[in-house]
Structure 1
Amino acid sequence: MLEIITSDALPFRHGFFTRKGGASSGIFAGLNCGPGSSDQSEIVAINRARVAEAMGVGAGGLVVLDQVHSADVVTVTGPRSDRPRADALVTDVPGLALSVLTADCQPVLFADPEARVIGAAHAGWRGTFEGVLEATLDAMEGLGARRGQIRAVIGPTISQASYEVGQEFLDTFLTEDRLNGRFFANSPSGRYLFDLPAFGLHRLRQAGIGHAEWTRHCTYRDSERFFSYRRTTHAGEADYGRLISTIRL
């Protein structure tokens, strides 16, 4: 059985899929939807077909990206089988499931219920810092959305307690804005703990969005439900699965 996390804030069909209910095995056990992983491509295709079916779209209707930690956004006008190099998608076309893959980064789903425009963004620390969330709002406005009507939900992502970073990382944020220090706490190790979802919510609210929230699921701490790049790295594993988050009109 697939496990799908949803939010009442989003009025359209959507889901933050956990790793449960997939065909992959071993370190990818469950619903690994990442074609960039070393999992068997046929198994990844089966997993993605299950997601497409759950979203009520055909294989061509599940639109994904070749994610590069950028602020680039693609406006989708119809089904496509390629994976454009970008980190966010927007559309006003019914029947297209905009999808992003994550394994600690923020999956962010957007909707303007009045204009019937949706978006999806892959927002790690770099993409969020570079402005992918604001760029997604801009692209939605290009399709007729109004910023004050847009709702955004951040799905399962790494929480502050599990995201330890060094001095150089902190300095990058402080150089941009000294007030960014609010998103860091001291770690017992002498390093720092970064609050990625709080930073994402801050950027969304500063941009004038109507509503923004986080589902409050931590990918690192719940290995049974979520894949995590950082947990995999700490465990010395060779690779990791990717979670999928998707929304459609």
Structure 2
Amino acid sequence: MAESLPLLVPPRTALPAAVRALQTTRRGGVSPAPWDTLNLALHTGDDHERVGMNRERLQRHLGLAQVVAWPRQVHGTQVVRAEDLQAAQARGVTLEADAVVTARPGVVCAVQTADCLPVVFAAVDGRAVGVAHAGWRGLVDGVLEATVEALRAEYPDTSIQAWMGASIGPEAFEVGPEVRAAFLAQDPGAGAAFVPTGAGRLLADLYHLARRRLERAGVSRVAGGGRCTFREAEHFFSYRREGETGRMGTLVWIEPL
């Protein structure tokens, strides 16, 4: 590995041995404030040349043979294949999606976040992987379930496990009552994920909500969670904290044999 970058990685027991996954932090890049320093997103106002340097630095550090293709995220539920993203990017096109899957070794699935929850998926035998970008809108609309369905469409008989990267934590994510109502309309038990603040607002626990959605989708082996992008300013970008800021990347791939 040519570069030294601080990364958030799952414990080895969280995913199959053949699967590699990580979430970048805000450190190790070349972007100035307010995108300091490892901003991987082109849509934040940062200079595109610097973003390109950050992406190249990450790729060198990970020793990836193929360029990472990033989707255009819209807080939706669309799932695309990583190889289709790559093919579109080669034509100068960025596909719209909030989840990426693949069964091809060496092909990287990636999303970007700065408070929303990234969730990595893997078949327990390591033959397919995916990653989803889940803010509250994506969660309530079913982006996690859509990703699970896309993986099971390829391998109906496989079990799936998941790892959650860093998102805004339950002590910092303030929402309105309409968010709670949207979740309760689908799952009355989701009320435990919301704590009133006393000012007509609530604190929401994205990790708890995601775990409930995953369990209902048949994904019982879920690791990760517990970090807070809003409170851990030294390590993570946070859109709620800073407004104009960078984006971390969450990547997953199957190691080639």
- TM-score normalised per structure 1: 0.91
Partner in structure 2 of residue 31 of structure 1: 38
In the TM superposition, residue 124 of structure 1 has moved relative to its aligned partner by 0.7
RMSD over aligned Cα atoms: 1.7
Contact 1:156–1:215 under 8 Å retained in 2: yes
Aligned-partner Cα distance in 2 for 1:115–1:154: 17
Runs of 4 or more, structure 1, over 4 Å off, are none
Query: What's the CA shift string for 1:118-142, capped at 9, x where partnerless?
Result: 0011011111111110110111112
Flag the 1:139–1:192 CA change in 2: closer, same or farther, 3 A: same
1:74 matched to 2:64? The reply is no
Matched, 1:4 2:15: no
In the alignment, which residue of structure 1 is the partner of 2:217? 207
Structure 1 residues 240 and 145, CA gap change in structure 2 (3 angstroms): farther
Match of 1:103 in 2: 114
How many positions carry a matched residue from both structures? 242
Amino acid at match of 2:60: E
User: C-alpha distance in 1, partners of 2:53/2:195?
Assistant: 41
Q: Which residue number corresponds to residue 94 of structure 2?
A: 83
CA deviation digits over 1:55-87, x for unaligned, max 9?
3224x5312110011111002336332421010
Amino acid at match of 1:35: L
CA contact (8 A) 1:91 1:143 kept: no
Structure 2: 5+ residue stretches without partners: none
C-alpha contact (below 8 Å) 1:13/1:55 kept by paired residues: no
Answer yes or no: is the 8 Å Cα contact 1:162–1:221 preserved in 2: yes
The aligned residue for residue 135 of structure 2 is 124
AA partner of residue 241 (structure 1): G
Structure-2 residue corresponding to 1:171 = 181
Q: State how far apart, in whole Å, the 2-side matches of 1:101 and 1:220 are.
A: 16
Query: Which residue among 228, 242, 247 is the counterpart of 1:242?
Result: 247
Q: How far does residue 30 in structure 1 lie from its aligned partner after superposition?
A: 1.2
Distance 1:67 1:17, change over 3 A: same
Q: Does 1:40 align with 2:51?
A: no
Moved more, 74-83 or 216-225: 74-83
- Once residues 171 and 104 of structure 1 are traced to their aligned partners in structure 2, the CA distance between those partners, rounded to angstroms, is 21
The amino acid that maps onto 1:15 is L
CA displacement at 1:180 relative to structure 2: 2.1
- Give the SS at the match of 1:2: coil
Matched-pair identity in %: 37
State the match for 1:138 in structure 2. 149
Q: 1:184 aligned to 191, 194, 199, which one?
A: 194
